[in-house]
Structure 1
Amino acid sequence: MSLVRLYAATSPDLLEDWAMALTAISRPTTGDTSTEGRRSAPSTGQSFELCIARASDGPLLTGQDLRRPMQIRRIACAFLNKWGVPDCAANVALLTSELVTNAFQHGRGSVSFRMTHADSLVELSVGSDAPLPALVVQNPDETDQSGRGLMLVDAIAEAWGVHDGRVWCTLPSGPVRTM
């Protein structure tokens, strides 16, 4: 299995730079008519991990911390394209946003995100330096502004849970699954 580890300290632009670079290198090339419109076979046994230091460790998140889910989502989708499995990008992007946002809002210290593609599954795993509090799928009212993240994870992921203080979920690497 191939593993890429990326560590982002407190530089506000580092993840954005990585996201832009990875997006650029993972786009399919065009112009070669012999391969245009075809995808290469998906690679399997691929993994990457991001470890991100928070800009603030208090209960209030900074603008930099609030941008992290979007940046990590872009990097995850770029890796899916690079690995040849872009069909699941919409669901991976959604669940990445939900899990990373929860880790920043409810965890403490650095946040780590790991995505693995093996066989026909993509696994997402998120944790922080301090174990996340007990997870409960909530049933929010229509007017509640939050509380739907784990409902989405439960509805879209094939499986999910908590192991060693990390929240994980698996999705098929094929076409988008609808709710």
Structure 2
Amino acid sequence: MSIATPPLQSHVLSRIGVPNSLPILRRAEACFERTGEYDSDARRPQQARRITSACMGVWRLRDLTDDAVLLVSELVTNAFQHGAGTTVRVRLYLTERYVCIEVRSGYVDGVEVKGAADVDESGRGLHLVSRVADDWSVTSDNAGLWCTLPLVRVGDPR
């Protein structure tokens, strides 16, 4: 696992497919190597949640922490279960209006929100993402998924 903060690039969000992208104020990135060992890879979503929580604290966005952590957890879990690459890369971008979460895991094919029965153990991840995130989609190069969380929700008293 590595954590890096690459230089800021305002065109990055439009390149991955986020509509109406704004200049990036802050950016954080974590990269997890896929080991192929169930126990090792199963710990990656928890690590990604801790990194996301810390990042949201540094950015003073504690009110968005729970939603951001849930989204990262679902996308990272999905990436390890269905992704094709040797690494899973998590990127968080902060703009003036939203936090963008991008998770890349190699080629993504046939992404869809599925319904899950009450007794099913899986199948709810993208449904949760579509409910919690303001917007979400596959990256423009089909290598991952992204979603956004608005900094101010409609109806917020701020």
- Is 1:87 paired with 2:88? no
Which amino acid is 2:26 matched to?
A: Q
Runs of 4+ with >6 A deviation: none
Asked whether the 8 Å contact 1:113–1:124 carries over to 2, the reply is: yes
Question: Of the candidates 93, 102, 123, which is equivalent to residue 100 of structure 2?
Answer: 123
3-state DSSP class of the match of 1:116? strand
3-state DSSP class of the match of 2:5? strand
Structure 2 counterpart of 1:171:
149
Q: Which sections of structure 1, spanning at least 5 residues, go unmatched? A: 6-43
Partners of 2:134 and 2:39 lie apart in 1 by: 32
The CA deviation at 1:80 is 0.8
174 and 88 in structure 1: CA distance in 2 versus 1, 3 angstrom threshold: farther
Partners of 2:107 and 2:122 lie apart in 1 by: 21
Which amino acid is 1:133 matched to?
A: D
- Which TM-score applies when normalising by structure 1? 0.69
The CA deviation at 1:174 is 4.4
Structure 1 counterpart of 2:83:
107
3-state DSSP class of the match of 2:91? strand
Structure 1 counterpart of 2:25:
45
Partners of 1:173 and 1:70 lie apart in 2 by: 24
Partners of 1:86 and 1:45 lie apart in 2 by: 17
Asked whether the 8 Å contact 1:157–1:170 carries over to 2, the reply is: yes
Which amino acid is 1:173 matched to?
A: L
Structure 1 counterpart of 2:43:
67
Work out which of the two has the higher radius of gyration on C-alpha atoms and give 1 or 2. Answer: 1
Partners of 2:152 and 2:62 lie apart in 1 by: 8
3-state DSSP class of the match of 1:104? helix
- Which TM-score applies when normalising by structure 2? 0.77
Which amino acid is 1:96 matched to?
A: V
Q: Which sections of structure 2, spanning at least 5 residues, go unmatched? A: 7-23
> After superposition, where does 1:144-159 map in structure 2 within 5 Å?
144-159=120-135
How many residues matched? 131
> After superposition, where does 1:21-40 map in structure 2 within 5 Å?
none
The CA deviation at 1:51 is 1.5
Which amino acid is 1:104 matched to?
A: F
Percent identity between the aligned chains? 38
3-state DSSP class of the match of 1:97? helix
CA RMSD of aligned residues (A): 1.8
